[in-house]
Structure 1
Amino acid sequence: MTMPEITADEQSDLARALLDALNPLATAIRARATGQPEHRMWDAEPVDVALGVLAAWRVVDAEVKRLTEIAAGTAGSYGASYEQLGAAWGITRQGARKKWPDAVTRPSTAEAPVALELFGGEAVLTPDRATGHWTWTAHAADGSCGASAPEAASPTREEAAAYAGAYLREHVAPAG
């Protein structure tokens, strides 16, 4: 997955949006640091104002890094490889592994099927050792049987459990 470069207009729009978002943060940080009211933030020596803006960018940088880690982890939880993460970020597979060491989880060979009893029925969640994804089969209280399609395997056990639980809830025993 190669990401196209942004256009000059898009870069200009992005810079404007970031500066618009940064201004209130820089003002608040500077006001707290100096004890001055926010409306007086810009009435300081230019070096102090510039340092206040720099401090605000540090906060933004930390937040971008945090959100980037979340995005990489989310992509990894849905099956993205380090090669794909690296391509999206413009770095190598090894660089992505170093940047986000916990983003891609390897399937555990110790994972075992899990049984659930819900709504009077039972479901079994089964890991696919090759992909790390999970499938489910269910015997519902109304006597019906259901299963996830192999191509619809879930990236996590919890997601497979949610689908199996939804199936069992839809197929409760008739009131009688």
Structure 2
Amino acid sequence: MSTPEITPDEQSALAAALLDALNPLAAAVRSRATGQPERRMWDGDPAEVALSVLAAWKVVDTEVKRLAETAAGTAGSYGASYEQLGAAWGITRQGARKKWPDAVPRPSTAPDPVTLELFDGEAELTQDAATGHWTWTARAADGSRGTPAPDAAPCTSREEAAAYAGAYLRAFARP
């Protein structure tokens, strides 16, 4: 998809619609800044009036950016790539990734499970792809099976999970 081109008539209609939408906002901004009623927006120093209009455009710009981010995230959630987002916005894939870093979900991949053999027992260490936390399951030499206690704090590294699994295997090793 490429950046859409609009005709001069469409551009004129868009500008008119945006100005119609902007006027009430500009009047409200000007009224708050001066304390004058909104119907007197155009009274006063022309530079101050123009600055009020500029401030209202800034509000519109911020809202357009928010809405564009929402649209990019929606497209990403339906499978659009950063390349496609960039093409729609008229920027590169890298530009789209920088502009909307969370728009396209990253594939969650966890490393393959790791097997430990200690004290004549065996433990498997696995990482949860969603959280990144590690856990373990063990079969000790005496035949008992173990996992972390339900209220145990999650292991934040493979080494930490290995330490707990190793301690379990040692505790239930054959004498």
Match of 1:23 in 2: 23
The structure whose Rg is larger is 2
* TM-score for the superposition, normalised by structure 2: 0.62
Cα deviation, 1:83-135, whole Å, max 9, x if unaligned, reads 0000000000000000000000112124xxxxxxxxxxxxxxxxxxxxxxxxx
Match of 1:67 in 2: 67
Cα deviation, 1:21-44, whole Å, max 9, x if unaligned, reads 000000001001111111111111
Q: How many residues align?
A: 111
Counterpart residue type for residue 20 of structure 1: D
Match of 2:11 in 1: 11
Match of 1:102 in 2: 102
Distance (whole Å) between structure 2 residues aligned to residue 30 and residue 75 of structure 1: 37
Match of 1:126 in 2: none
Distance (whole Å) between structure 2 residues aligned to residue 20 and residue 92 of structure 1: 33
Match of 1:152 in 2: none
Gaps of 5+ in 1: 111-176
Cα deviation, 1:51-90, whole Å, max 9, x if unaligned, reads 0000000000000000000000000000000000000000
* TM-score for the superposition, normalised by structure 1: 0.61
Amino-acid identity (%):
83
Match of 1:77 in 2: 77
Q: How far is 1:48 from its partner?
A: 0.8
Gaps of 5+ in 2: 111-175
Counterpart residue type for residue 22 of structure 1: L
- Structure 1 segments, 4+ long, off by >3 Å, are none
Distance (whole Å) between structure 1 residues aligned to residue 83 and residue 61 of structure 2: 24
RMSD: 1.3
Distance (whole Å) between structure 2 residues aligned to residue 27 and residue 50 of structure 1: 11
